[in-house]
Structures are given as structure tokens and as C-alpha cells.
């Protein structure tokens, strides 16, 4: 083959000058990242592929990851640090040097600290996640308890539900289970490596139950698909418990020896007959019975939870507690093939290795600092979440200045549209003295900031990740950072020089800090750098089963059907110690008057395969899969009865606002539900929610069920 042909086909080799560099994709961040083969010629990326040796993606990519080249070279990249020169939000900026930008931020934070205290400075991380241990240490070393992340709307509430029941969360052991119950997740569109793992397990005979209001590739592969109305998961789980207890197919030995509160739970679940379950959830009683029997009798069974769909409800934590209790009821907690507990290693992932990440992140105890944002309203978050502030309460504290004023907001990958009543949140920013956002692209949030810092993509820097299969990777930079952009970690370390100059670890630099964190594992930066595509651990740590026998990490020391932590707040509505089912605050059941005018359930943010939040909305490769004109997915029967056709203009309204979008009728959606993807600048669905439409335990917004109406714009079709 001629060199010209090989060049045209982008074949790597000495003759073409094309090199393959190993990197990681962090466009989405499910914590288990896909390995990338980056084809580079003359310092420029010409092609992206998945790394075949990477145990998670095994050479494959999703549409978003395959679009990395467009992502890296998009014209909307921020090229230099910027300082606002006009009024806030006027989108008038001037380029400044890195030193100047960092000095302005340093001086702003230090002066806020001396006048109002360190707690007046908020440190926030959106995507990505790799720099979080360093950002959290920066906040703590500076003295601020207000380190918070997008986990204020994702993942954490699910972990809280598990911690309240089990003490230590357990993940689904898919490789060894006989029955996987996927509760509101569609990995075929969100984390393809996990979808491929399900395919492998199904081909060896694993049974699968999928609970999801939508119809997805995951539900189409299921033995049983249960389709509850959004927000009724708790009632469904309690009805399944009713069957499992009533038919005496629960694990009586486990329940009597290792659990607390069973008798009250049994009594409560006894009221949730499958027939009542059908009334409450819309799932046929026969389906509830069949799923309960399969889960309890298939052998080893486990629950695969999702990070946000179930907990994006005003009753989310209680609902997920009821779901996880099914694993307890059947003795499937902390056993092979069940919800198995592995201690976290690094960046939320149980990677079969030991690190001192937690020690690194917490140079000073929280007890020496002021109370975190959300402290008074969310005592359970403060007790069982991982030490973060609850960012959903920032708007209220900004507006009231109580219990103390907030003055600086130092954001990395921050997007104000993550908050309910997003425009209201933006208005509250007038009470801040300094707003900083670090991002790859000039986003709407950057345009509202005072200082904007250009971050580079994951292909232009290195990051450390570990994986559940005992694989660890310190990726390499495939190309030099474009323009004046820098790695977020470098920015954090330069801020540390200004905010906490005496911090003994920051002073030694990033590499030394990674070595320090890794030291219990025996791994070093040097060794990892010699394996830029990643490596399997030589001695992966395999923890034993049934660690709860030595005492579960709950107040009772047992698995709790009745939460001793929630018991302390029993008089507050929503904090019941049993997994009490309450319909979503704005649902046909709980708000029948409102439902007369707003008859549809509004469900926002359910994943589509080509989008991840708003991160790739600007790429033409992505638009070629689904238009960049925001569209709502609605059921075809609903569309027909409202005389709505494909691509008609549609108005979605709640009592709090309205947006205009296109109509996309699809059988994916159940009747009576409207699915609207989030994060669109021209149709921001989060404006349609009140700021305090929150779960009382976790503070998570109820994005997956409110009430709305939809109408065709432009009058009736003739």
C-alpha cells in the first residue's frame, strides 16, 4: 500500500508519521472512564479510537467519545484567562495573564476570609471529576467547609439511601449474579461498557428485571420490565416486599440475625398488596408478583441502581431505601453475586487498591470550621454524605445572608442551569463579590462570571483513575494544551500558593501529591507513567464476604429496615424512620387540583445516547444524530390526542414558567409523561421548577416528576 493511501486512511507508522498516544475520555464521567487511542500527526489529533486493551471499553466508544476530536478543536474553546470589563452578564471580557487572573482570585478569597471568614468562599466542582481530591484539599486547607460538587444533584442521594440501610454501599456483582434488577438505568445509552457486561451476563443465563418508566435497549433485553409512573418506586418496592414476605421467600436467617426493625417494616409492607401497588404505580399486580418471585428465588440477586433518576424526586431517598431493602430482605447484601461491598479506593471507585485519598482531602477536620451550606435544613446530608456542602442551598443562603454571608464562588466546570429555578439562582449572584469559572468552552455560566479560566481537555493533560476490575491508569497528554489553556490540577496548585501557602503537601507539587496518595498501594507515578494506557494491579485486594457480621456501619450495627439516623428527626415530614411512601409533591395523587390544569408528569434529564448534560451540544457530529433544537419526547397517543405531530412547536408550562421546544413523539415514553432533556440555553427546563422543590433528606431536586401542561403553538392543526 502506498504511503499516500496509508496517510489517507490514517494508518499509524514511521512512514506516515502518525503516532498513537494513550489517553482517557472524560466527556462523560461515570467514574469508570474509557481508554482512548489518540492518533496524532504533527502535534495534531487526526482520529480517535477506543483502546482495545482497556478493560472497561475494550476498544469501543460511544458517540460522544468518538466526537473527541471535534470537542478538542471546537472554536468555542476559551483561549486565555479573561476578566470581565462591562457589567455582569454583558459578555464583555478582556484577556489577562495567568498570574494576573490567579492574583485577582487569590486576593479576592483572602480578603473575603479576613472580613467574613473562610466559609464565605465556596469551591464548586462540576465536570470533570479528576481534580476533586485537590480542589477539596484546597478548600479545607484554606479553611472553608463549603466544598461542593455536582454530586448535590447526582449520585450522593443514592449513596445516602444505601448508607442509611446498610452503613456501607454495595455495588451489583454482575459477573456472579443470577438475577440483576436494574432500577431505572439504561447503561446501553449511558455507560456502554456496563451495557456490554450485561450482554455477557445475559448470554451465560443471568435473569434480568428492569424497572423503568421508559422503554429502552435495557428494558427490551429484560425478562421482566416493570413500568412505574415516575416517582412511585417506593410503593413498587414495598409491594414487592409484600409478596416476598407474604410468600415466605425472604432470607429469614439473615433478617433475624443481622437486621434491625424488621417487624415494623413487615407490618408497614403488609399494607402494600400488589393490587394496591398497581393502583399506586401503574404496574400490573401480576408483574409485581412475578418480579418479586424472580428476585427472591433466582439464586443470587442484586440491585443495579442509578445515580439520579430515582433520587430526583421529592421522595427520592425514601423510595431508594425501600428498593435497597429488597437486597437486605433476600440476604443479598455483601455476598458474591449480590450487592457486594468493596471499600472505595480513589475518586469514588472501588478499585481493589488502598490509597490515602481521604487523608489527603481532609487536612483539617470539618469540626474546626463553620457549618456547611445546608446545615440546618439537611441534617442527614450533613451526617451521612461525604463531607460536601449541599450546593442546592446556595441560592437561599445568597439571598438571605443567613446563617452567614457568602462572598466568593470559585467554580470548575460550573453550570448554573444545574439548579432548579436556574434564572433565580443567577439573580442571587449579585450578592457575590467574586465569581470565577474554569471551563473548556465559553459557556453561559462563564459569561456571567468575573474571571474565566481556560481548562484543557483530558487529551491535553494527565489524570489518575482506577477501575473496578483492578486496573489503574495515569493517562498521558496526547497533545500539548491548546492556546493558553491549562490542566485544572495545575490551576488548583497555583491557587494553593495564594490561598494556603503553608500547606506542606501542595508545596511539593502535583506529582509528589499523587505519590503520597498512592503510597499505601505500592504504586508510584514513575511506574504508572511507564504504562500510559494503564495496568492491572499485581496484587488486587479482594475483600471477604459478609463484613457486616462484625457489625454494620449503622448506629444499630445491623442492616436497618428502620433507620436510627432518621429516627432522630422523626417529627420532620419526609424523615420517617421506616421507608414510608409519599407520592411526589407535585403529582396527580398529591396535588389533584394542580393536576387538573397541569395533567402531565414532567420528567427532565432522562438520558439520550448522544448527549451528556450540555457538554457536547455544540458539536455538529452530535447534531447529526439528534437536532440541536431542543425537543421534548412525548408518547404517540398523547401526541395524537393533542393533535401534535413530529417537530411541531410545543410549549411546556408549569406554574413557574414555560419553554418552547419541538415535539418528538416516541414509544420510549409512557403515556402521560413528558421527557425533556436538560441544559439547553434556549429552552432551560430547570426554569420550570421552584428553587426548593427538593427531597427533604438529600436536598436533591425533584427533576424526575413535577406537573406540566403541553400545547401546540400556532393553534389547532387543520
Partner 1 sequence: MIMTRAIMTDMGRCVGCGACAVACMDQNDVFPEKGGTSCRRIYQMEYADGHGAVIQYLSAGCQHCDDSPCLIACPTGAIYRDEGSRANLVDRNRCIGCHSCALACPFGVPRYDADDKMLKCNLCTGRVEAGMKPACVRACAFGALNFDDPNKFQDDKESRYANGLAGAFAKTR
Closest by CA to 706, choosing from 661, 638, 668, 654, is: 654
Longest dimension (CA), the chain: 78
> Which of 84, 189, 207, 704 touches partner 1 by CB under 8 A?
189
> Which of 94, 107, 115, 199 touches partner 1 by CB under 8 A?
199
Q: For residue 108, state whether it binds partner 1 (rule: CB under 8 A).
A: no
Q: For residue 6, state whether it binds partner 1 (rule: CB under 8 A).
A: yes
Shortest distance, position 188 Cβ to partner 1, whole Å: 4
Q: For residue 49, state whether it binds partner 1 (rule: CB under 8 A).
A: yes
Tell me the C-alpha distance between 349 and 182, whole Å: 19
Tell me the C-alpha distance between 162 and 58, whole Å: 30
Nearer to partner 1, 195 or 274 (CB): 195
Nearer to partner 1, 50 or 170 (CB): 50
Shortest distance, position 323 Cβ to partner 1, whole Å: 24
Give the pairing of strands 657-665 and 649-654. Answer: antiparallel
| Grid coordinates of 613 | 448534560
Q: For residue 105, state whether it binds partner 1 (rule: CB under 8 A).
A: no
Q: With beta carbons less than 8 A apart as the criterion, state whether 13 and 6 touch.
A: yes
Q: Annotate each residue in 598-617 with x if it binds partner 1 (CB under 8 A) or - if it does not, as one string.
A: -----------xx-------
Closest by CA to 498, choosing from 5, 92, 106, 46, is: 106
Q: For residue 413, state whether it binds partner 1 (rule: CB under 8 A).
A: no
Q: For residue 8, state whether it binds partner 1 (rule: CB under 8 A).
A: yes
Nearer to partner 1, 53 or 692 (CB): 53
C-alpha 59, offset from chain centre: 24
> Which of 41, 96, 110, 196 touches partner 1 by CB under 8 A?
196
Q: For 356, phi and psi rounded to 5 degrees?
A: -115, 50
Tell me the C-alpha distance between 34 and 25, whole Å: 6
Residue position matching grid coordinates 429555578: 421
| Grid coordinates of 363 | 487536612
> Which of 48, 373, 392, 426 touches partner 1 by CB under 8 A?
48
Nearer to partner 1, 358 or 637 (CB): 637
Q: With beta carbons less than 8 A apart as the criterion, state whether 116 and 434 touch.
A: no
> Which of 29, 31, 36, 65 touches partner 1 by CB under 8 A?
65
Q: How many residues does the chain have?
A: 718
Nearer to partner 1, 406 or 610 (CB): 610
Q: For residue 92, state whether it binds partner 1 (rule: CB under 8 A).
A: no
Q: Annotate each residue in 642-681 with x if it binds partner 1 (CB under 8 A) or - if it does not, as one string.
A: ------------------------xxx-------------
Q: For residue 69, state whether it binds partner 1 (rule: CB under 8 A).
A: yes
Q: For residue 173, state whether it binds partner 1 (rule: CB under 8 A).
A: no
Tell me the C-alpha distance between 504 and 36, whole Å: 35
Interhelix angle for 156-166 vs 316-329, to 10°?
A: 40
Tell me the C-alpha distance between 392 and 409, whole Å: 14
Q: For residue 624, state whether it binds partner 1 (rule: CB under 8 A).
A: yes
Residue position matching grid coordinates 413498587: 236
Q: With beta carbons less than 8 A apart as the criterion, state whether 709 and 597 touch.
A: yes
Contact positions with partner 1 (CB under 8 A) in 485-514: none
- Residues binding partner 1: what is the number (CB under 8 A)? 45
Which residue ranges make up the site for partner 1 (CB under 8 A)?
A: 1, 5-6, 8-11, 47-50, 57-63, 65-67, 69-70, 188-189, 192-193, 195-196, 199, 215, 217, 220, 609-610, 620-625, 636, 666-668
Amino acid at each position: 500500500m502506498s504511503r499516500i493511501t496509508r496517510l489517507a486512511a490514517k494508518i499509524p507508522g514511521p512512514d506516515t508519521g502518525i503516532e498513537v498516544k494513550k489517553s482517557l475520555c472524560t466527556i462523560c464521567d461515570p467514574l469508570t472512564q474509557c481508554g482512548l487511542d489518540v492518533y496524532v500527526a504533527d502535534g495534531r489529533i487526526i482520529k480517535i479510537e477506543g483502546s482495545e486493551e482497556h478493560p472497561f471499553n475494550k476498544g469501543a466508544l460511544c458517540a460522544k467519545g468518538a466526537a473527541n476530536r471535534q470537542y478538542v478543536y471546537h472554536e468555542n474553546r476559551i483561549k486565555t484567562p479573561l476578566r470581565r470589563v462591562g457589567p455582569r452578564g454583558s459578555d464583555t471580557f478582556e484577556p489577562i495573564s495567568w498570574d494576573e487572573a490567579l492574583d485577582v482570585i487569590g486576593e479576592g478569597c483572602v480578603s473575603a476570609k479576613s472580613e467574613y471568614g473562610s466559609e464565605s468562599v465556596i469551591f464548586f466542582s462540576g465536570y470533570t471529576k479528576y481534580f476533586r481530591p485537590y480542589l477539596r484539599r484546597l478548600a479545607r486547607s484554606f479553611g472553608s467547609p463549603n466544598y461542593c460538587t455536582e454530586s448535590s444533584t447526582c449520585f450522593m442521594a443514592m449513596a445516602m439511601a444505601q448508607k442509611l440501610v446498610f452503613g456501607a454501599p454495595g455495588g451489583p456483582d454482575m459477573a456472579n449474579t443470577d438475577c440483576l434488577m436494574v432500577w431505572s438505568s439504561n447503561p446501553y445509552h449511558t455507560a456502554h461498557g456496563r451495557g456490554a457486561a450485561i450482554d455477557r451476563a445475559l448470554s451465560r443465563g443471568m435473569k434480568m428485571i428492569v424497572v423503568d418508566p421508559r422503554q429502552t435497549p435495557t428494558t427490551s433485553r429484560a425478562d421482566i420490565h416493570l413500568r412505574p409512573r415516575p416517582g412511585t418506586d417506593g410503593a413498587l418496592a414495598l409491594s414487592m416486599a409484600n409478596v416476598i414476605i407474604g410468600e415466605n421467600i425472604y432470607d429469614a436467617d439473615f433478617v433475624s440475625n443481622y437486621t434491625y426493625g424488621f417487624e415494623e417494616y413487615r407490618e408497614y409492607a403488609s399494607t402494600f398488596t400488589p393490587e394496591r401497588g398497581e393502583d399506586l404505580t401503574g404496574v400490573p399486580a401480576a408483574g409485581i408478583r412475578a418480579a418479586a418471585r424472580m428476585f427472591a428465588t433466582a439464586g443470587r440477586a442484586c440491585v443495579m441502581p442509578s445515580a439520579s433518576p430515582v433520587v430526583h424526586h421529592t421522595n427520592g431517598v425514601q423510595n431508594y431505601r425501600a428498593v435497597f431493602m429488597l437486597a437486605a430482605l433476600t440476604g443479598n447484601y455483601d455476598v458474591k453475586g449480590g450487592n457486594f461491598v468493596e471499600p472505595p479506593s480513589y475518586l469514588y471507585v472501588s478499585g481493589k487498591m488502598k490509597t490515602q485519598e481521604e487523608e489527603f482531602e481532609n487536612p483539617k477536620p470539618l469540626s474546626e470550621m463553620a457549618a456547611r451550606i445546608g446545615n440546618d435544613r439537611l441534617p442527614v446530608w450533613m451526617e451521612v454524605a461525604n463531607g460536601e456542602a449541599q450546593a442546592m442551598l446556595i441560592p437561599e443562603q445568597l439571598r438571605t445572608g443567613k446563617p452567614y454571608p457568602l462572598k466568593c464562588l470559585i467554580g470548575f466546570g460550573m453550570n448554573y442551569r444545574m439548579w432548579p429555578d436556574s434564572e433565580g439562582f443567577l439573580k442571587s449572584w449579585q450578592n457575590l463579590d467574586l465569581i470565577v469559572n474554569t471551563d473548556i468552552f465559553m459557556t453561559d455560566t462563564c459569561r456571567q462570571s468575573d474571571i474565566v479560566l481556560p481548562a484543557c481537555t483530558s487529551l491535553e493533560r494527565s489524570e489518575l483513575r482506577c477501575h473496578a476490575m483492578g486496573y489503574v491508569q495515569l493517562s498521558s497528554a496526547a497533545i500539548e494544551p491548546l492556546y493558553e489553556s491549562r490542566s485544572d490540577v495545575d490551576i488548583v496548585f497555583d491557587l494553593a500558593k495564594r490561598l494556603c501557602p503553608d500547606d506542606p503537601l501542595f508545596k511539593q507539587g502535583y506529582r509528589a501529591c499523587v505519590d503520597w496518595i498512592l503510597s499505601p498501594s505500592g504504586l508510584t507515578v514513575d511506574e504508572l507513567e511507564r504504562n500510559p494506557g494503564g495496568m492491572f494491579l499485581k496484587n488486587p485486594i479482594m475483600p471477604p464476604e459478609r463484613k457486616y457480621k462484625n457489625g454494620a456501619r449503622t448506629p444499630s450495627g445491623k442492616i436497618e429496615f428502620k433507620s436510627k439516623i432518621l429516627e432522630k428527626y422523626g417529627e420532620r415530614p419526609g424523615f420517617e424512620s421506616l421507608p414510608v411512601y409519599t407520592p411526589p409533591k407535585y403529582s396527580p395523587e398529591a396535588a389533584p387540583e394542580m393536576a387538573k390544569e397541569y395533567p402531565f408528569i414532567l420528567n427532565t434529564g432522562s438520558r439520550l445516547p448522544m448527549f451528556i448534560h450540555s457538554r457536547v451540544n455544540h458539536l455538529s457530529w452530535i447534531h447529526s444524530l439528534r437536532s440541536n433544537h431542543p425537543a421534548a419526547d412525548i408518547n404517540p397517543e398523547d401526541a395524537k390526542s393533542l393533535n401534535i405531530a413530529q417537530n411541531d412547536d410545543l410549549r411546556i408550562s408549569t406554574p413557574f414558567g414555560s419553554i418552547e421546544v419541538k415535539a418528538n413523539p416516541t414509544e420510549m415514553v409512557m403515556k402521560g409523561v413528558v421527557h425533556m432533556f436538560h441544559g439547553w440555553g434556549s429552552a432551560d427546563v430547570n426554569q420550570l421548577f421552584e428553587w426548593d422543590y427538593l427531597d427533604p433528606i438529600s436536598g436533591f431536586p425533584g427533576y424526575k416528576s413535577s406537573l406540566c401542561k403541553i400545547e401546540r403553538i400556532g393553534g389547532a392543526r387543520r
